[in-house]
Amino acid sequence: MRQDDCIFCKIANGEIPATEICENEGFRVILDLGPASKGHALVLPKEHYRDITELPEKAAGEAFSLAGKVGKAMKQGLGAAGFNIVQNNGTAAGQTVFHFHIHVIPRYEGGPEMVAWTPGKAEAEELKATAESIRKAL
């Protein structure tokens, strides 16, 4: 299902122009207008899903497989040394457009640091309790 007021639905389905990398029956991959690095791309499903929690399993597999292929092409075609796959869910996680999408961000030697954090510390009992809380909600 598509949502009439969703900009990514319109872009994914060709109603709004974008610089396209590739397209198939279910997805369109475009260059991001506000790139984190040269070649930053978005994998957009043509159907509307608010975030990964609404995405069917088959579509999720297709989306991440496509993201991997695009990342590999960035290494070959742009000379990227690597790439990040970024997928945000919810405002607190940085999601600003509520249509599931994957950022594929090429990384270059000597480029800026992105997608990094300082590892925290957790005691074994805290890890057990946290895992149990998550298991109960599955």
Enumerate the active-site residues. 101
Side-chain-side CA neighbours of 7 within 13 Å: the count stands at 5
Residue 6, CA distances (Å) to 44, 48, 56, 93, 97 in order: 12, 8, 19, 20, 8
Cα 47 from chain centre: 15
Block residue for tokens 């319109």: 10
Contact assessment for residue 101 and residue 7, using Cβ atoms and an 8 Å cutoff: no
Q: What are the residues facing 31 on neighbouring strands? A: 41
